[in-house]
A and B are shown apart, each in its own frame.
Chain A
Amino acid sequence: MTTLAIDGLNVTFSTEDGPLHALKNVSFDVPENRIVGIVGESGCGKSTLINAILGLLADNGSIDSGSILFQGRDDLTKLGPAQMRDLRGPKISTVFQDPMGALNPVISVGQQMINIQYRSDISKQEKAQRAVDMLELVRIPDARAALARYPHQFSGGMKQRIAIAMALMMEPALLIADEPTTALDATLEVTTIELLKDLQQQIGCSVLFISHHLGVIAELCDDVVVMYAGEVVERGTVRQIFNDPRHPYTARLLECDPARQSERTRSLPTIPGEIPDLRARPRGCIFANRCHRVHDACAAPPPDHDVGDGHVARCFVANVPETVEATA
C-alpha cells in the first residue's frame, strides 16, 4: 500500500504582484516503509509541499487542483481543518529544520512531550514514562531529569534529537523530516542520520526526507524526487537518479555536489542563471533558460517521460543520454 500518493498537485499564492504558481503538477508516491528523499535548491517549493501535505498553507495559499491521497483513503486536499488536525501528530509527524526554534522556549521539554499525547487516555505518569523511553531511544543522557529542563538548556544536536523523539513517539505512518540535519555540524549529521534510519526500521514508518545535501540523500533514502522551481523534474530510486540521471538539471546538480569533486578545483562548478520568476512561469520547460541541452521543442511543456521501472523525468530528451547526443 502507498502511504502517500500525490497526483497533479498545483498550489498558488496570491501576492500583491499577482498569483504565484508555487507548485505545478507535482506527482510522486511515498510507498510504505520506504524513505523518499526530496532534493532541490532553496526556493524549489519543498516547504510549500510540506505545508500542503500538513494542511498548514499560509492564508494566501490555496490548492487549485490535484490530490494528496493518504493511506489510500483520505484525500488531504479535501479534509476539513478538524480532520486534518486529527491526522497531524498521530498519523503524520514532522521534524522541522530549525532545532533552535522548533521547541517552545517557556514550556519544559517533558510538558511539551506530554502535551502532544493529549489524545491518549493513559495517565500523566505513563505519558511521562513514554517520553522518557523515547528520549532514551534517541540517546539523551539522563532522560528523566531532561523532562524538567527547558529547550535552551540543550545543545542544537540534542534539541534535534528531542524533536525526532517527539515525532516518533506518535508512531506515525508518515514522518516528514524537513532538512533535520542542515543546522548541525558534519559529525552530528552522520549520527543523526544513522539514528533516524535505525528508528525508522524499528517503528516501520514511511519517511519523506527533505534535504539539499545529496550525500545525505544517497546515504539514507530509497527513492529520490528532484524538484526545481515548484516542479518534480525527475524521480526514481536512489540508484537510478544517482547513476543514471535523465533530466539535465539532475545531471548538473550531481556535477555541482562538492562531495563528488574528485580532483581539486579552484572553484566549485555552479549552474549558471537563476530560477525564473514563479509569478510569470514560461509556457515551456521551466529549466530551459539554464539548460545546456535546450532546443526548439523546449518552448512547449515537456512530458513526464517514463524511462522504465518508475524512473520518470519531465524532459524531451530524457530518452537520449547526454553522451549519445554529444557524439551525434
Chain B
Amino acid sequence: MLTYFFKRLGLAAVIVSVAMFILFCMIYLIPGDPASVALGPRATEEMRASLREAMGLNQPVPVQFWNFYSSAWMGDLGTEVLSGRPVLTVVLEQLPYTLALIAGGITWSVALGIPLGCWAAVSRGSWADRIVGILSVAVIAVPSFVIAIYALLIFAVQLRWLPAIGAGEPGDLGDQLTHLILPSLAVGLGWVGYIARMVRASMLEVLEASHIRTARAFGLPDRMITYRYALSIAILPTVTLLGVGIGQMLSSAVFAEIVFARPGVGKLVYDAILTRNFPVVSGTVLVTTVLFVLLNLLADLIIGALDPRVRSSF
C-alpha cells in the first residue's frame, strides 16, 4: 500500500514538473514580453527594462527556468503586482470558495447521476431508459456556462427562488449553502450525464455477472440484489471518473464564479487578466494544476479503500 502510494506520488510530481515546464515555455518563449504585458502599453522603456531586470528576464533561459521551478516547489509563486502580497497566499485565500463549489457540483452529479443510471439499467430498453439516455447526452453536450446563465435567468431573475450573486453572508452557513445551490448545479449538471451513463453501463455489466445469478438463486429480494450486490460494484468506476472530472469542473467553476459573481480562484484569475496581474495568473494555473493532479491521486486511493480486491493487491 505504502509503496504504491509513493510510486503514484512520484509520478504525480513528474507530471506537475512537466506541466510547470510547459507553463514556463508558454510564458517565456511565446512571442510577447512579460514585462510589457505586466506594465501595459503606457509604460516607458526604462520601466520595462527595470522590471525585466527584477523578474530575472535578462538571465539565460535555463537559469530562468531553474529559478521559476525551484522557487515554485518552495511555495514561492512570486508577488502580486499591485499589493506586493505573496501570490500563494492570495490564491489559497480564494481556493476554499472554489473547492466548495466543486464539492457542490460533485454532490449534484452523484445525487442525480447514480440513481438515474441505476434506474436506467434496471429498466433497460424502456422509455425511462431512453429518456435518461437522451438527457444524459444533452446535459453533457451543452456548455456549463450556458447552463449557468439560464439557471440564473430562470431561478434567480424570473422565479426569484434563489439568490443570484455572491457567496452569502460570512458565518451564515445556511445562507452560504443557498448561494451555492445554483452555481454548483451549473458545475455539476454535465457530470450528472457522465455518471448516469457510466453507472448504467457498469450496472448492466455487473448484473450479468455470475455472483448476481448466485444471489438470484438464493431468492434474495430484487432491491437487495440491485442496490447492495450490484450497485456497490457498479459505482466503483464513478470514483475514477470523478477524479478525471474535477479538472473539467474546475473549468466550469471559473464560469460559475464569474456568472454568479462569487469569490474563488476563477474570479481571481479573471480579474487578474483584466488588470494584467501576471504573476497571479501563472500562480493560479500552477496551483489548480497541482490540485487537479492531487485529486486524481486521491480518487485512486479512494478506489483502493472501497474495493477490497484492489485493497489487498497493494
Contacts and interface: CB of A to CB of B under 8 A. Distances in A.
Contact of B216 (A56, A101, A106, A150): A56
Contact of A103 (B211, B306, B307): B211
B211 A115 contact: no
Contacts of A84: 219
A32 interface: no
A105 B309 contact: yes
A229 interface: no
Interface string A67-104: 00000000000000000111111100110101001111
Contacts of B224: 115, 118
A153 B217 contact: no
7 contacts: A96-B210, A96-B217, A98-B210, A102-B211, A105-B233, A118-B221, A150-B308
Interface in A111-142: 115-116, 118
B127 interface: no
B219 A152 contact: no
Nearest to B307: A106
A163 interface: yes
B71 interface: no
Contact of A150 (B210, B215, B229, B309): B309
A89 B211 CA distance: 14
A87 B218 CA distance: 9
Given A105-B309, A106-B308, A107-B232, A170 B210 contact: no
B209 interface: yes
A54 interface: yes
B44 interface: no
B228 interface: yes
Interface in A161-209: 163, 166, 170
A273 B98 CA distance: 70
B55 interface: no
Q: Which 10 A-B pairs have the closest CB atoms?
A: A88-B219, A89-B219, A94-B217, A89-B218, A101-B210, A150-B308, A116-B218, A85-B219, A104-B211, A102-B214
A263 B219 CA distance: 49
B209 A101 contact: yes
Given A88-B218, A88-B219, A94-B217, A102 B210 contact: yes
Contacts of B308: 105-106, 150, 152
Contact of B217 (A86, A88, A103, A105): A88
Nearest to A56: B216
Contacts of B209: 101
Interface of B: 209-211, 213-221, 224, 228-229, 232-233, 236, 306-309, 312
Interface of A: 54, 56, 84-90, 93-94, 96, 98, 101-107, 115-116, 118, 150, 152-153, 163, 166, 170
Nearest to B209: A101
Nearest to A51: B213
Interface centre among A56, A104, A107, A150 (most CB of B within 10 A): A104
Given A152-B309, A166-B218, 10 more contacts: A85-B219, A87-B219, A88-B216, A106-B236, A106-B309, A115-B228, A118-B220, A150-B312, A152-B308, A170-B218
Contacts of B214: 94, 96, 102-104, 163
Contacts of B216: 54, 56, 88
A152 B310 CA distance: 10
Nearest to A85: B219
Contact of B213 (A56, A86, A87, A106): A56
A56 B217 contact: yes
Contacts of A89: 217-220
B88 to A, nearest CB: 41
Given A101-B211, A118-B220, A107 B312 contact: no
B210 to A, nearest CB: 4
A96 B229 contact: no
B80 to A, nearest CB: 49
Contact of A85 (B210, B211, B221): B221
A181 B192 CA distance: 45
Given A152-B308, A152-B312, A105 B211 contact: yes
B233 A106 contact: yes
B272 to A, nearest CB: 46
A88 B209 CA distance: 18
Contact of A90 (B219, B221, B307, B312): B219
Contacts of A90: 219
Contact of A96 (B213, B232, B307, B312): B213
A105 B224 CA distance: 15
A247 B169 CA distance: 87
A76 to B, nearest CB: 13
A116 B305 CA distance: 26
Contacts of A101: 209-211
B221 to A, nearest CB: 7
Contacts of A87: 219
B293 to A, nearest CB: 28
